[in-house]
Amino acid sequence: MEIEINYSFIIPHRNVPHLLQRCIDSIPKRDDIQIIIVDDNSDPKIVNFECFPGLNEKCVEVYFTKEGKGAGYARNIGLTYAKGKWFLFPDADDHYTTDLMNVLDKYVNSNYDIIYFACDHIIEKTMEHCDNIISIQIKSYLEGHKDMINNIRYYLWAPWNKMIKKELICEDVEFEEIEKGNDALFSVRVGYRSTNIKVIKNKIYVYYTREGNISTSKLTFDKMYSLFTSRYRIYQYLCYGKIRRYNTALWSCFRLALNNRDILFAIFFVLSIPLYRFNPVKEKKKAYSMFLIDNK
């Protein structure tokens, strides 16, 4: 008799095998758990593929890709193998807390579409614990500020602070295969498609800010443009859904450009908004087509 898989953990990986092992070790090895690792063309000078983390471990499946198309592509590959009732998307350089399954098992047979949970944020260099927008907004919502629910559904773009019901992710809902911001529109779309969500205060995930990871490395112009087009698709998508504060998606790019000290991109961004807003560009059509699919 085939055992039912309750949880599929999909982990994209590139060039951090010791951190990937830490992530794997934080997930219990149970018969109802599937751990999918998709390696995104790691450097053989850094990674020993014969002793790759997870190989021959219980509940772990490892897939190697040579395309090098980024975390979004790797996650999409993982989705094709996922069998669980619930999907989770940890990053390879983060990990879960020991309370993980005690919390998740409470909702395994629930009728919720998404479980949003809080997280801990650590600066790796100093191991300092920091406040983070995810936990702040979740705490605010649970303290009675119910207007924060749209922020949680549409503006917490990381994929790792949520557990998502399988039925919510159809073949049309996938991660964008772009250099930067691959997970944002995915999170927005599953948030929009959900009708019954649960927000919990438990900090069952730990994410790190470390030198060299995608969140701290200086952005090239190409990555900034990739991020801009991704945010613009979110902007258009939320426009069609008549979601309040949808302009937040665009202005996040402007703030990031300034934080990145990329004045040229900030100027380009401001000049581009009227062109994107008033012309039927490809990005607008793409966002509209996705919105129609999600409202079938």
Mean pLDDT over the full length of the chain:
86
pLDDT band (50, 70, 90) for residue 279: very low
| Backbone φ, ψ for residue 147 (5° rounding) | -70, -10
Query: 221-240 vs 263-278: helix axis angle to the nearest 10?
Result: 30
pTM metric for this prediction: 0.89
Q: What is the pLDDT of residue 256?
A: 59
Q: What is the pLDDT of residue 118?
A: 96
Q: What is the pLDDT of residue 17?
A: 96
Q: If you write DSSP's letter for every residue of the chain in order, what string do you get? A: -PPPP-EEEEEEESS-HHHHHHHHHTS---TTEEEEEEEES--TTT--GGG-TTTT-TTEEEEEESS---HHHHHHHHHHH---SEEE---TT-EE-TTHHHHHTTSTTSS-SEEEEEEEEEETTTTEEE--HHHHHHHHHHTT-GGGHHHHHHH---GGGEEEEGGG--TT-----SSS-TTHHHHHHHHHH-SSEEEEEEEEEEEEE-TTSTTTSPPPHHHHHHHHHHHHHHHHHHHHTT-TTTTHHHHHHHHHHHHTT-HHHHHHHHHHHHHHHHS--HHHHHHHHHHHHHT-
Between 256 and 107, name the one with better pLDDT.
107
pLDDT band (50, 70, 90) for residue 147: confident
Q: What is the pLDDT of residue 242?
A: 74
Q: What is the pLDDT of residue 194?
A: 94
Q: Is the pLDDT of residue 77 over 80?
A: yes
pLDDT tens per residue across span 179-204: 888 999 999 999 999 999 999 999 99
Contact at 8 Å (CB) between 199 and 142? yes
Q: What is the pLDDT of residue 116?
A: 98
Using alpha carbons, select from 105, 88, 89, 94 the residue that is nearest to residue 165: 88
170-183 as b/e, with b when 16 or more CB fall inside 10 Å?
Answer: eeebbbbebbbbbb
Q: What is the pLDDT of residue 102?
A: 97
Is domain 7-209 annotated with CATH 3.90.550.10? yes
Distance CA 269, CA 257 (A): 9
Q: Is the pLDDT of residue 64 over 90?
A: yes
Q: What is the pLDDT of residue 254?
A: 60
* Cα-based angle 8, 9, 11 (whole degrees, multiple of 5): 140
* Cα-based angle 74, 78, 82 (whole degrees, multiple of 5): 170
Q: What is the mean pLDDT of residues 95-119?
A: 97
Q: Is the pLDDT of residue 4 over 50?
A: yes
Distance CA 178, CA 104 (A): 31
Q: Tokens 């919510």: give the residue.
A: 168
Q: Is the pLDDT of residue 35 over 70?
A: yes
Highest mean pLDDT pick, 125-134, 233-242, 269-278, 286-295: 125-134
Distance CA 175, CA 290 (A): 13
Q: What is the mean pLDDT of residues 62-84?
A: 95
Q: What is the pLDDT of residue 274?
A: 52
pLDDT tens per residue across span 241-266: 777 665 565 666 666 556 655 566 56
Between 222 and 125, name the one with better pLDDT.
125
Q: Is the pLDDT of residue 234 over 60?
A: yes
Between 24 and 235, name the one with better pLDDT.
24
Using alpha carbons, select from 39, 38, 34 the residue that is nearest to residue 8: 34
